[in-house]
Chains A and B, each alone.
Chain A
Amino acid sequence: MNLFKLIPSLILILLAEGCVTEFIPETSDVRQKLVVEGLITDQPVANKIKLSLSMPIGDSLYSIPVPNAQVYVREYLGGSYKLTEKEPGSYYTDPAIFRGVPGHSYSLLILTFNGRYESQNVEMKPVPPIDSVYYEKVFVKLNQLGKPVEGAQIYIDTHDSLNNTKFFRWNYTETWIFRLPYIDVQNHVCWITEESDKIFLANTSYLAESNVSRFPIRRIATERDDRLRERYSIVVNQYSISEEEFRYWEKIQKISEKSGGLYDVTPMTVIGNIQNTMDPEEQVMGFFSVSAVSSRRIFIKDIFAGFKDLYSSCPFDTVPINQTIRYLGEIYWIIIMNYDEGTKTYTDQYRCADCTTRGTTVKPDFWPDN
């Protein structure tokens, strides 16, 4: 056999798409667990410790506060400060008498009907300032098939010249202004404030210098909402955390992402640094964090393309100004009074007539006047 000839071949493949079906898992263990969320900082503000119960799967995610607990922050080799419950489940320090000091160690003590919960001692680490928070205009692809839209990518740069901070954690609060397209509504201009809903971590222990550059903290696309339409502001808070806390948040990050796949880490309940000293078998969720904090705020006022008008779907009708509105629905709101033309325009959707359905008319302190 000496003739060697490759014959062109025909391939036919019709790969079927996979599919996803929804289900409610039937689980038997529905015991609710204590959740502690708390952060003690070096800032002269009221620090909050929030106690709640975990929620069973399948139910609506409204957290159930744990009121009437006694909550203390104890300084290692120092005094103990009782926190006051200002709203159910939320306990605050009084900045007049308590303020964290970098270098000192603190622990948390919670007394409830169910037990005595104690955290480990956590040292408050000093934190370097954030070098800069900045943004770049980018094109964002919202999904695989969609066309890219304009947007902003916000980065942070930071470093610690003393090389003390190896583990960084950030969160942010964003605020933006928006207006309803109709002038004659009661609340025309509002501000929205939202907290970050992700965990941002960086580990610089493998780096020669503790240096973080171009850490992508937020990406906003114009098509999705009106954040970038007029003026947007973001304040980024930087924390210096221990390796233990870093590992905790890293695990939280991992298990809150998709799990259950073949290449996903075997899921496991992540336990923090709090324990019921009367019943060590009880699982306590959450972490008592202690850290100095440094913050930096920027504003974005730029021209972006591709906004989707959130109010384009508002139903309205225009009638002569003195005509009685005969409308099947009982409630309607006037959104435009045009005295020149002698017409009035109304809508039956409240969200189109009052911006407080999404935000607040109270202008934040830091918001510039122009």
Chain B
Amino acid sequence: MTLKVLTTVFLLLISVALQGQVTKYPVTWKYENQKFREFIQKAESVHNVKFFYKEEWISDKAVTFCGDSVTVAQVLDASLRESGIYFLINRHGDIILTSGYMVRRIETPAGVEGKFIPSVILTDSLKSRQVTGSMFIDVGNPSDRDKPGAVTLSGYVRDENTGEPIAGVSVFNQKLSLGTITNSFGFYSLSLPRGSHSVQFTFIGLKEKTININLYSSGEIDLGMSSVLIPLKEAVVSAQKDRIIQRFEVGLENISLVNLRLLPASLGESDIIKSVLSLPGVKVVGEGSSGFNVRGGSADQNLILLYGAPMYNSNHFFGFFSAVNSDIIRDVALYKGGIPARYGGRISSVLEITPKEGNRKEFAGNAGISPVTAHFMIDAPILKDKCSLILTGRSTYSNWIFRRVNNAILQNSMASFYDVNARLTYDINKNNKIETAYYLSNDAFRLNSDSLYKYDNNIVSVKWKHFFSRRFLSIVTVNNSNYQYKISSERVLQDGFKMAHKVNSTWFKADFNWYPEGRSEMNFGADVIKYSIKPGDYTPSNDSSLVIPHLIQKENAVEAALYFDEKYTITPFLSVNAGLRFSSYFALGPADIMLYDPLVPKNVSTITDTSVISPGRVIKTYAGPELRLSLNFRLTDNSSVKINYNRNRQYLHLLTNTTSISPTDTWKLSDYYLKPQIGDQYALGYYRMLNRNRIEASAEIYYKSIRNMLDFKGGARLVMNENAETEIINVRGRAYGLELSLKSTEGRLQWTAGYTYSRILIRSISDFREELVNSGKWFPASFDKPHDLTVTFNYLISRRFSFSGSYTYNTGRPVTYPTGVFRIGGITVPIYSERNAYRIPDYSRLDIAVSISGNLKLKKIAHPHWAFSVYNVLGRANVYSVYFRENNNRIKGYKLSVFGRPIPSVTYSFDF
């Protein structure tokens, strides 16, 4: 239908000849009882006018008589009104008939040629006129119709319910295979030839929309999109055709709530961040471990942003759950390659959590219970259409669950956690929007000992979005993020101690986005971060404790950066995104810097002098440019190639020498000795739509080199160490890999398949032989897992039942094995092989789930969902860890599997 209309109108427009200004055609002849065709022929012969129509629309029609001395328009109106045929007299005086839809004109005031016409809010026109089918819009000044060159169609896409912009909407012209996607502010800009077009707007979870336009010159259309019915949101997924082809970024992965619901939940908990980790290029060291590794980066090289603020610990419960309640999340974007210039400070990836927009229209909510947690969400408008509040909470209620996990660490321990999110958005007026958000997460556990561990994240954020004009906006963010942990023990009253570590950052950020007319988009801005780290405070926990307070000197620093980034479409087939970020870092006093004998390895006993830096003075400055460059070549209508280069600098590091990062690792700022980590990544990607645009295929290769990574001397003590530099070894890293992915997100059966081959090798750099790990040779890092295969599917059996599954296979992580033992002091001590010389067995797991929605009555009080899932349905005893123990006077190896059997679980939740 759309296509037919388009063709018709398109042909018509092309054949139209330029005519003088005639809008009124008097009917000078006798037309009563005339056949419609005869009437038209007569009109064409009397006036210099041409009619365009399809023969079958009028073949059986007669003219309705409506009096004498009327105009042709009046006659047409009277005759066609009942039959669903509309007409339009265009600027050139030609009369065009349309069937089934009406063409609406926007008149341009005289004398404003060349300027942009005011934009049309399509949703309003939809409501005011119940036009069936699609509609037609004129865009631009018709007198420009014959000017040469392409013009741009641009505008904002917003959510009809919340009024908030939607990022990532595919804007696509099928006929010409031209398209783009909206940026993070919902803005799109599409270059098209003048003429009539049909433009399709699609986004997962939203109703697809098509608009028909007559494009005369550059113009704007803002579009409102509405989400599909709530109870079925997990079921309706529209195709995001061409998204991968259009995108600039190499290595951007996006998961929204809708995708998430398609996957089986682990332990009954849908976890959006965990799902991101199943994407190609992302590794976790083990089942339920904290942290993740992106393209060979270590776990502290990921910038996790919530409300625009960095999260220093993104896990609850040793990583079995992520610290952000999925209820608050709209989508999660992971930049593993082309990191935009507006982000900095971490060298491997940016994981941006976009919170859900509050509902500005009506009260809504959700609550649920899974085997481990209970959670709720309330989404309430405070002022209709202006202000809304989202509140979520989550907590574990079952400590005992983890006693059942056969893991010595988890048994004999208590653990609990909760998190709270609150977000208030307020639209002051059309051009100013403010949002404030608060996040708190808290964990407490006791690990088979007398020591109590507690850690919490706190984020407060205020964001002000201001539109200077439609095409120029700014976002100013101020936020504070705080992470701290405390360990306390009172086994013996006199030795009772508390140990606390804290990292705090205050971030001021101003981002400007400008979409000048034409084919470019500019982003620029600045940010300043003030860091303050309390490395460790060791204090008595009670009055009778003999512990003397031992406070390690605080670390202070300021990181400041300026950036500029431009996206430019050179031709519809070649676009470039070039960005430059200049970051600088100042480590500030007060500090006592130990100076070491340069001829021997740094050690407490080789300190030669101390240099005292007074408060506020700069200890050390590091600065450098970071270039971000992407090129996107469209090879054909459905394939493209992207090239990307990226440099990132990182000034904040996590000191960790365990295989997985742990909540009690300490953060450390770059200082006199510790240089910033620098990562360079080169990536090349090929993207192609297969099987009539039903399957999205991509292949990416990358090479990455990392300087100044951290490694530690054997058995290094990283907590409460005043001289951390004596334990740190400078390491160089190189990572490379190939990521292949196939995605089919249309129809009843949706599936994805991803395969990754990747390596990460590291090498220690030191002047001293005894500091070199594996004698300074390249060796695999502990998260080096070369082969990785992930397949997921979801089959929609009916509107209420769906069946889903996911399969994962990967190479076992490297481990260090003992090669021998010796006895000393009555105990048996292992001698280890070279670092990471062996691997644990490969990992393989299949999960399945069935989800059932309650009946589809719209008027129900609550819409319930049941999810039945089985984790590890094959029951494979995947090896979680390998350890060695003396048994019968022999050292024997043991493989521990945590989830060695299928684990069923049931989750119940409901929307209201």
Residues of chain A touching chain B, judged by Cβ–Cβ distance below 8 Å, are: 1-7, 9-25, 27-33, 35, 37, 52, 54-63, 144, 171, 195-199, 206-209, 211, 213-214, 243-244, 247, 249-252, 254-256, 258-271, 280-281, 283, 285-287
Residues of chain B touching chain A, judged by Cβ–Cβ distance below 8 Å, are: 268, 285-286, 289, 318, 362-365, 367, 369, 371, 401, 404-409, 411-412, 492, 494-495, 497, 538, 546-548, 550, 604-605, 657-660, 662, 714-715, 717, 769, 775, 782, 815-835, 837-838, 861-862, 864, 875, 877, 880-886, 889-906, 908, 910, 912
Q: Whole-angstrom distance between the alpha carbons of A13 and B285 in the complex? A: 26
- Chain B residues with CB under 8 Å of A25's CB are 817-818, 838, 882, 884, 893
Q: Whole-angstrom distance between the alpha carbons of A251 and B834 in the complex? A: 17
Q: Whole-angstrom distance between the alpha carbons of A14 and B289 in the complex? A: 22
- Chain B residues with CB under 8 Å of A1's CB are 362-365, 861, 912
Q: Whole-angstrom distance between the alpha carbons of A27 and B838 in the complex? A: 8
Closest to B904 in A: A14
Min C-beta distance of B898 to chain A, whole Å: 5
Structural contact, A13 and B401, CB atoms closer than 8 A = yes
- Chain B residues with CB under 8 Å of A270's CB are 714-715, 829
If A9-B369, A266-B658 touch, whether A252 touches B824 (CB-CB below 8 Å) is yes
Min C-beta distance of A209 to chain B, whole Å: 6
Structural contact, B905 and A269, CB atoms closer than 8 A = no
Structural contact, B494 and A213, CB atoms closer than 8 A = yes
Query: Can you show 27 pairs from A to B with CB atoms below 8 A apart?
Result: A1-B362, A5-B862, A12-B906, A19-B877, A19-B896, A22-B893, A29-B837, A57-B820, A57-B884, A57-B893, A61-B828, A61-B891, A213-B495, A251-B714, A254-B715, A258-B883, A260-B815, A260-B884, A262-B286, A263-B658, A264-B659, A265-B658, A265-B715, A267-B818, A267-B830, A268-B714, A269-B714
With most chain B CB atoms within 10 A of its CB, the pick from A195, A197, A213, A259 is A259
Structural contact, B406 and A5, CB atoms closer than 8 A = no
Structural contact, A262 and B892, CB atoms closer than 8 A = no
Closest to B911 in A: A1
- Kindly identify which residue among A13, A255, A287 contacts B715, using a CB–CB cutoff of 8 Å: A255
Structural contact, A17 and B404, CB atoms closer than 8 A = yes
- Chain B residues with CB under 8 Å of A206's CB are 497, 538, 547-548, 550
- Chain B residues with CB under 8 Å of A24's CB are 892-893
- Chain A residues with CB under 8 Å of B495's CB are 207, 213
Q: Whole-angstrom distance between the alpha carbons of A256 and B830 in the complex? A: 7
Q: Whole-angstrom distance between the alpha carbons of A30 and B605 in the complex? A: 35
- Chain B residues with CB under 8 Å of A256's CB are 827-830
Min C-beta distance of A234 to chain B, whole Å: 14
Structural contact, A280 and B826, CB atoms closer than 8 A = no
Min C-beta distance of B69 to chain A, whole Å: 59
Closest to A32 in B: B820
Structural contact, B658 and A264, CB atoms closer than 8 A = yes
- Chain B residues with CB under 8 Å of A61's CB are 821, 823, 828, 886, 889-891
- Chain A residues with CB under 8 Å of B406's CB are 17-20
Structural contact, A195 and B826, CB atoms closer than 8 A = yes
- Kindly identify which residue among A15, A60, A207 contacts B889, using a CB–CB cutoff of 8 Å: A60
If A12-B905, A57-B891, A265-B658 touch, whether A214 touches B824 (CB-CB below 8 Å) is no
Closest to B365 in A: A4
Structural contact, A3 and B861, CB atoms closer than 8 A = yes
- Chain A residues with CB under 8 Å of B901's CB are 16-17, 19
- Kindly identify which residue among A6, A12, A33, A195 contacts B820, using a CB–CB cutoff of 8 Å: A33
With most chain B CB atoms within 10 A of its CB, the pick from A7, A18, A55, A208 is A18
Q: Whole-angstrom distance between the alpha carbons of A122 and B406 in the complex? A: 45
Task: List 10 tightest A-B contacts by C-beta distance, closest first.
Answer: A18-B406, A268-B714, A16-B901, A251-B715, A262-B660, A197-B826, A260-B883, A13-B371, A35-B822, A54-B822
Q: Whole-angstrom distance between the alpha carbons of A5 and B367 in the complex? A: 10
Closest to B291 in A: A262
Structural contact, B371 and A27, CB atoms closer than 8 A = no
- Chain A residues with CB under 8 Å of B550's CB are 206
Known: A11-B369, A269-B714. 7 other contacts (CB 8 A): A24-B893, A25-B817, A27-B838, A57-B891, A207-B546, A259-B830, A266-B835
- Kindly identify which residue among A7, A10, A265, A266 contacts B862, using a CB–CB cutoff of 8 Å: A7
Q: Whole-angstrom distance between the alpha carbons of A340 and B409 in the complex? A: 60
Q: Whole-angstrom distance between the alpha carbons of A58 and B885 in the complex? A: 11
Structural contact, A20 and B896, CB atoms closer than 8 A = yes
- Kindly identify which residue among A23, A31, A265 contacts B657, using a CB–CB cutoff of 8 Å: A265
Structural contact, B912 and A18, CB atoms closer than 8 A = no
Closest to B404 in A: A15
Min C-beta distance of B403 to chain A, whole Å: 9
Q: Whole-angstrom distance between the alpha carbons of A30 and B902 in the complex? A: 39
Q: Whole-angstrom distance between the alpha carbons of A342 and B783 in the complex? A: 76
Min C-beta distance of B447 to chain A, whole Å: 9
Q: Whole-angstrom distance between the alpha carbons of A211 and B548 in the complex? A: 12
Q: Whole-angstrom distance between the alpha carbons of A19 and B898 in the complex? A: 7
Q: Whole-angstrom distance between the alpha carbons of A52 and B820 in the complex? A: 13
- Chain B residues with CB under 8 Å of A15's CB are 371, 401, 404-405, 903
Closest to B875 in A: A16
Min C-beta distance of A9 to chain B, whole Å: 4
If A22-B893, A269-B831 touch, whether A16 touches B899 (CB-CB below 8 Å) is yes
With most chain A CB atoms within 10 A of its CB, the pick from B546, B882, B886 is B546
Structural contact, B819 and A57, CB atoms closer than 8 A = yes
If A197-B827, A270-B715 touch, whether A144 touches B492 (CB-CB below 8 Å) is no
Min C-beta distance of A199 to chain B, whole Å: 6
Structural contact, A211 and B546, CB atoms closer than 8 A = yes
Q: Whole-angstrom distance between the alpha carbons of A284 and B547 in the complex? A: 37
- Chain A residues with CB under 8 Å of B899's CB are 16, 18
- Chain A residues with CB under 8 Å of B369's CB are 9, 11
- Chain B residues with CB under 8 Å of A12's CB are 371, 904-906
Min C-beta distance of B329 to chain A, whole Å: 22
If A260-B882, A261-B881 touch, whether A10 touches B822 (CB-CB below 8 Å) is no
Structural contact, A208 and B548, CB atoms closer than 8 A = yes
- Chain B residues with CB under 8 Å of A20's CB are 406, 894-897
- Chain A residues with CB under 8 Å of B822's CB are 33, 35, 52, 54-55, 63, 285-286
Structural contact, B367 and A6, CB atoms closer than 8 A = yes
- Kindly identify which residue among B318, B362, B885, B894 contacts A263, using a CB–CB cutoff of 8 Å: B318
Closest to A287 in B: B824
Structural contact, A262 and B861, CB atoms closer than 8 A = no
If A12-B904, A63-B823 touch, whether A266 touches B828 (CB-CB below 8 Å) is no
- Chain B residues with CB under 8 Å of A30's CB are 819-820
- Chain A residues with CB under 8 Å of B831's CB are 33, 54, 269, 283, 285
- Chain B residues with CB under 8 Å of A198's CB are 826-827
- Chain B residues with CB under 8 Å of A57's CB are 817-821, 830, 884, 891, 893
Min C-beta distance of A115 to chain B, whole Å: 17
Structural contact, A18 and B405, CB atoms closer than 8 A = yes
Q: Whole-angstrom distance between the alpha carbons of A56 and B405 in the complex? A: 33
Q: Whole-angstrom distance between the alpha carbons of A22 and B893 in the complex? A: 6
Q: Whole-angstrom distance between the alpha carbons of A69 and B797 in the complex? A: 79
Closest to B711 in A: A266
If A5-B861, A262-B660 touch, whether A250 touches B715 (CB-CB below 8 Å) is yes
Closest to B660 in A: A262
- Kindly identify which residue among B717, B820, B900 contacts A19, using a CB–CB cutoff of 8 Å: B900
Closest to A194 in B: B826
- Chain B residues with CB under 8 Å of A264's CB are 658-659, 881
Structural contact, B829 and A13, CB atoms closer than 8 A = no
- Chain B residues with CB under 8 Å of A144's CB are 411-412
Structural contact, A171 and B889, CB atoms closer than 8 A = no
Structural contact, B890 and A29, CB atoms closer than 8 A = no
Structural contact, B896 and A18, CB atoms closer than 8 A = yes
Min C-beta distance of A58 to chain B, whole Å: 6
Q: Whole-angstrom distance between the alpha carbons of A15 and B371 in the complex? A: 10
Structural contact, B890 and A60, CB atoms closer than 8 A = yes
- Kindly identify which residue among A5, A249, A268 contacts B835, using a CB–CB cutoff of 8 Å: A268
- Chain B residues with CB under 8 Å of A213's CB are 492, 494-495
Q: Whole-angstrom distance between the alpha carbons of A239 and B900 in the complex? A: 46
Closest to B407 in A: A18
